[in-house]
Structure formats: C-alpha cells, structure tokens
Amino acid sequence: MFDAYLKYSWVFSFPDPAKVSLTIAGSSFLESTSALGRIQTKMSVAVETGKDNDTRIWAQTLMRWGGVYPSNGAWLQNNQNGLASTLQKNARLLDASANDANTSTISRMNSGMTKIYSLLADDFIIYDTRVAAALTWIIRCYCEEQGLSEVPVDLGFPVGKAKESPNAEEPKCRNPSKNDLTF
C-alpha cells in the first residue's frame, strides 16, 4: 500500500472558482489532497447553507479535478435548483455511520458523483473501475492466502469495464478474477 502511495499520480488542472486568475494543478497525492481539501471546504459550506449555485460551481470544479466533467457537468447545471439539498440528503443516505442508509432513493450515482459524496459523507470513498480493480485484487490475494476456493458472497461485488477506445492496443484489465475467484 505504501508503494502505491509513493507511485500515486493523478494529473489535474482546473481554474479556482474563488480566484479566477488562479489555476490549481498537480499530480501527487499531497497535491490532490490539498486541492480536494479546498474543494471540500467550499462545497460543504455551499451545501450546508443551501446555496445551489455555489454548490454547482464547486461540484463542477470537483468533476474537473476528477476528469469526469463531460459526463457530469451538464447534469449538475440542469439540476442546479435544489442541488444543495439533494446532495446533502444523498450524502446522509450514504453516510457509513447511519443505520438507515438506503441507496435506492439516490437520484444519480456514477463514478463522478461518488467524488462528490466522498467529500460530503463520512467514510465514503471515490469509487470507479480503478478502485474496484484495486479492492478486488486485494480480496483475491486474501482469498488465495486463506486457501479459499471462492470469493465470499459479501466480498464478491461487481467490477465494471474500463472506459477506453474499442481499438486499444493494450486493453485495461480491471477484473482480477482468476479460476473460481470471480467478481
């Protein structure tokens, strides 16, 4: 895990909505942590105070950081009215410490939206095919070390396919299934 931390690289660049002339950019874990901390502070205040426009601006900024703006920016714009309360309600539903979590009422859930909820809900992680691949690989290693012949039901969650060109020379492998250890 520490080696993965040392090799962390997420290249990002986005204009700071609070300081239009400032561009926030980086690629290291610490630079991402700093950028996300700033976005989290601003977006949390906007959500808590019910400021839909500010909520949209900071949510779209987060989508730019995450590289998922094209598939989420328009949705945030089109759903700006009531956005703060919607995100606040959804974050409460996803809060791991809440006993009454019910994800069936969440209006939109994709890898981009998990970025928002990871900043608004306690103990909720960004979840995309890269994260699923890493987690399922760890689970597979655990199963192999324990001599398990199949993945325990509670750990056998689905793994999606990576987005990539249909003509990719080296297709991304995001599913670590092996023999009967399947996800």
The four Cα atoms 57, 72, 167, 174 give a dihedral, to 10 degrees, of 100
The helix/strand/coil state of 13 is: strand
- Compute CA distances 84 → 28, 45, 51, 155, whole Å: 30, 10, 6, 33
Query: Is the pLDDT score of 87 beyond 80?
Result: yes
Q: Which residues contact 156 (CB under 8 A, 6 or more apart)?
A: 182, 183
Q: Could you tell me where the DSSP H helices lie in the chain? A: 2-7, 29-48, 52-66, 69-78, 83-94, 111-120, 129-146
pLDDT tens readout for residues 4-23 = 889 999 999 999 999 988 99
* Per-residue pLDDT, 104: 56
* Per-residue pLDDT, 11: 96
84 versus 107: the higher-pLDDT residue is 84
- CA gap 6, 120 in Å, rounded: 26
Query: Is the pLDDT score of 27 beyond 90?
Result: yes
Q: What is the pTM of this model?
A: 0.82
* Per-residue pLDDT, 31: 97
* Per-residue pLDDT, 4: 82
Angle (CA) 115 79 109, round 5°: 35
- CA gap 82, 51 in Å, rounded: 9
* Per-residue pLDDT, 102: 56
Question: Quick one: pLDDT band at residue 98, thresholds 50, 70, 90?
Answer: low
pLDDT tens readout for residues 34-56 = 999 999 999 999 999 999 999 99
* Per-residue pLDDT, 77: 97
Q: Specify which residues 178 forms β-bridges with.
A: 181
Mean pLDDT of 95-114: 74
pLDDT tens readout for residues 121-174 = 988 989 888 888 889 999 999 999 999 999 999 998 888 777 778 888 888 888
Q: Which residues contact 145 (CB under 8 A, 6 or more apart)?
A: none
The helix/strand/coil state of 106 is: coil
